[in-house]
Structure 1
């Protein structure tokens, strides 16, 4: 038996789960929200529906890692920090360098850090937490589980851009994607539900960060995110696809650096930028504001474009899979997306959609099956860590 801690670090939150392996029992499920902001919140669910919750102001990256480990000890989940046998870290970008889950040493964390150009709002923070945790638990092995690994199978026709081929090769310019851990898990779960590993799927990981992927027989065929996670559909604060000529245009008009424009596309665009109000679907759906409605319509429009495009690429699909915070909990989005795909024979059962239970959502007449599968990136990650110990 071993205890493995899974860490998913973001710029403003730290999510974590402690597993007892190989039983795959979740001992604790926690999150620290609003890092470096007033009213930071620590939440840990454990035991028989027990919950620890506390609010502090301006919890830093350093203190959040300490709190995560200290509170696991304080509430009795572990007796000593040394009870933790291994730690798995979600890493967005592995580039061409990493092709599998990797044990972390100094050179690995430096490479993760260097890939910040590809995932600027992910890799640097993830590397920071690896370093912080190492100072607290220097004897505990840490592992990196890369989102990009699932997308290494994308055929070249979909992986590369229409730029000079020698530059593609020299600088390893290709579609690296994001949410690969989730899309891989969804593909596996769909295969189990449909009792086949010979499937054509379109998986929709819809959340504040959103991506869509097409899979054939368990391998990724295409994905909406690109060289960076900014590409693809409209997201909470990310623009999704934009004309690259907008970068020099805004540099001149707004007197910004290239990095400043990219930051605007990453942090001030998407649902937030269009609505001018919020990046949260729940906020936008609760108002009649014109810009909020426009943001919602654009989000659905982009999801439909990618989904329909992938069904065409696949020459038909066996199933569409909804997942992620929006995909799992927003029945309006699922209904709208499926209604706009009705011309392809997609027909969602309104009652099943309203019940929001995992499993089949299609009617008996639907030509493509519709699945609701809650993603479980942490479970996929802990299995990978155990397999590589």
Structure 2
């Protein structure tokens, strides 16, 4: 029996799934990479957790392959699907990951240094482990290639846009899943104006009209827009000039600051994990959360302006799906848009949590099923 394996390397996690036809045999993830990492495995409803210590992506992948050995033994892996964060300005569809394609994608590593190198390292490892399997890349930027020019350009000389200095947008696999889910379950809402909030260790918002992305808070890199676990979100570029000229910081030091030492971690001085901050009594934790909520409500308003109004608001991702206080505090600022929560439904973790003119939904995303579907389509072609 043939299998499909999916690998989804994030900035602080490695998610994986094994599919046989349309059936999911097992899923899991290694979370909190570089800290007290743990491997979570769900096989036929049987859940287990294995502490791993402070491992990186390479260590996480080794642990995943070891954990999957009972599932993979005696079965052929026909295809491996990979989340690739950056596909460049032209890729709208999944692609087979040949040597030539992998080298092309390496050029985008500076645009997504927390993700692209790890994504491609997983590809190289998977090609070695499963040499007979087709390797398919699914690109987080692809969903946003329907953007109008005004959303993707910066007010810089046009030659830079032609060279690729433009807004790309990310988290496309999550948005792809959510819009497809809405099309199946809420067809009228899916045809209207929807703002989707993907809130995890990385965070962004997407303005969707009739299932198509028309705006996103993330831009040239995965730094823009919302503050994140360790990433800064929107920052005045004058700050970067100041850090270089007045503080004498090198490009590498600034990159480390913006990607790894900022966001919730930098604001609180405690942690980049929202769960930790919500449990903390420290005033710095409260201030970091307040800034996050302020930015979230501001970005929802901005995406509503892109759409010319809002009919639906969707929360997804680890924070979006699980942090009821964050949803509640953000929505209290948005009553002027017709957004209001049903407090009981929000606390109970129901799907439909709105009580105003605008539909408000809480949905689990499933990037792995999107990846597996792309692999299945290639195998059946």
TM-score exceeds 0.5: yes
**How many residues are paired up?**
378
Tell me: CA distance 1:27–1:261, structure 2 relative to 1, closer, same or farther (3 Å): same
Matched, 1:41 2:38: yes
Q: CA deviation at 1:311?
A: 1.3
Structure 2 unaligned segments of length 5 or more: list them: none
Would the alpha carbon gap of residues 322 and 34 (structure 1) be closer, same or farther in structure 2, given more than 3 Å must change? Answer: closer
Give the drift of 1:194: 2.2
How far apart are 1:273 and its partner, in Å?
0.7
2:318 aligned with 1:320: no
| 1:78 is aligned to 2:78 | no
Asked if the contact 1:247/1:258 (under 8 Å) is kept, the reply is no
CA contact (8 A) 1:250 1:256 kept: yes
1:69 is the counterpart of 2:65: yes
Query: Which residue in 2 is equivalent to 1:256?
Result: 249
Deviation at 1:56, TM superposition (A): 4.3
Q: Which moved more, 1:284-293 or 1:107-116?
A: 284-293
Give CA deviations for 1:95-154 in whole Å, capped at 9, x if unaligned.
124221001110111112221011111111111111122122222111100000001001
Partners of 2:307 and 2:60 in 1: how far apart?
44
Matches within 5 A, 1:279-358: 279-358=272-351
Q: Which ranges in structure 1 are unaligned for 5 or more consecutive residues?
A: none
Q: Deviations over 1:204-224 (max 9, x none)?
A: 001111100101111001000
The aligned runs of 1:102-181 (5 Å cut-off) are: 102-169=95-162, 171-181=163-173
CA distance 1:61–1:356, shift in 2 (3 Å): closer
**CA apart distance, 1:177:** 1.4
Give the Å deviation of 1:60: 5.6
Structure 2 distance, partners of 1:341, 1:297, is: 15
Cα gap change, 1:269/1:64 in structure 2, threshold over 3 Å: closer, same or farther? closer
Residues 101, 388 of structure 1: 8 Å contact kept: no
Secondary structure of the structure 2 residue equivalent to 1:29: strand
- How many Å apart are 1:326 and its aligned residue? 0.7
Give the distance between the partners of 2:181 and 2:237, measured in 1 at CA.
Answer: 37
Q: What RMSD in Å do the two structures reach over aligned CA positions?
A: 1.9
Change (3 A) 1:189 1:57: closer
Q: 1:64 to 1:295 in 2, by over 3 A?
A: closer
Within 5 Å, give how 1:7-46 maps onto structure 2: 7-21=7-21, 23=22, 25-33=23-31, 40-46=37-43
2:47 aligned residue: 51
Q: Distance in 2 between matches of 1:173 and 1:374?
A: 33
